[in-house]
Amino acid sequence: MEEFYDSRVETMPLKELKELQLKRLKKIVRHAYKNNRFYHERFKKSGVRPEDIKTMDDLKKLPFLTKHDLREYYPFGLICIEIDEIVEIHASSGTTGKPVVGAYTKNDLEVWAEVMARSLWANGLRKGDVLQNAYGYGLFTGAHGFEKGAQKIGAMVIPISSGNTKRQITLMKDLGSTALACTPSYSLYMAEVAEEMGFDPREDFNLRIGLFGAEAWSDEMRKTIEERWGIVAHEHYGLTEIIGPGVVSECKEKKLHINADHFLPEIIDPETGETLEPGEEGELVFTTLTKEAFPAIRFRTRDLAVYYEDGCECGRTLPIQSRIKGRSDDMMKIKGVIVFPSQIESALLKVPGISENYQLVKEKRESITSLSVEVEATEERYQEGNLDELEKRIEEEIYTILNLRIPVKILPPKTIPRSTGKAKRVIER
Give Cα 158 distance to the centre of its chain: 22
CB 243 within 8 A of CB 115: yes
CB 322 within 8 A of CB 263: no
| Ramachandran category for residue 97: left, alpha or beta (phi over 0 → left; psi -120 to 50 → alpha) | left
CB under 5 A: which stretch of 133-141, 210-218, 255-263, 379-387 binds Zn ion? 255-263
Is 31 a residue that touches Zn ion (CB under 5 A)? no
Burial class (CB in 10 A: 0-12, 13-18, 19+), 403: exposed
Is 255 a residue that touches Zn ion (CB under 5 A)? yes
- Least distance to Zn ion, CB of residue 312, Å: 3
- Least distance to Zn ion, CB of residue 7, Å: 13
Among candidate residues 180, 183, 269, the one with its CA nearest the CA of residue 229: 180
CB under 5 A: which stretch of 197-205, 245-253, 265-273, 281-289 binds Zn ion? 245-253
Enumerate residues 6+ apart whose C-beta is below 8 A from 174: none
Is 256 a residue that touches Zn ion (CB under 5 A)? no
CB under 5 A: which stretch of 97-105, 168-176, 246-254, 410-418 binds Zn ion? 246-254
User: How distant, in Å, are the alpha carbons of 134, 188, 210 from that of 386?
Assistant: 39, 26, 36
CB under 5 A: which stretch of 42-50, 80-88, 311-319, 404-412 binds Zn ion? 311-319
Orientation of helix 341-348 relative to helix 387-402, angle to 10°:
130
Binding test (CB under 5 A) with Zn ion, winner from 56, 193, 232, 312: 312
DSSP SS3 for 157: strand
Binding test (CB under 5 A) with Zn ion, winner from 253, 310, 329, 363: 253
Residue closer to Zn ion by CB (options 251, 406) is 251
- Least distance to Zn ion, CB of residue 118, Å: 12
CB under 5 A: which stretch of 158-166, 178-186, 204-212, 248-256 binds Zn ion? 248-256
Is 314 a residue that touches Zn ion (CB under 5 A)? yes
Measured distance CA(119)–CA(127) in Å, rounded: 14
- Least distance to Zn ion, CB of residue 122, Å: 8
Is 316 a residue that touches Zn ion (CB under 5 A)? yes
- Least distance to Zn ion, CB of residue 311, Å: 8
Is 305 a residue that touches Zn ion (CB under 5 A)? no
Q: What type of residue sits at position 95?
A: T
Is 251 a residue that touches Zn ion (CB under 5 A)? yes
* Residue ranges binding Zn ion (CB under 5 A): 251, 253, 255, 312, 314, 316
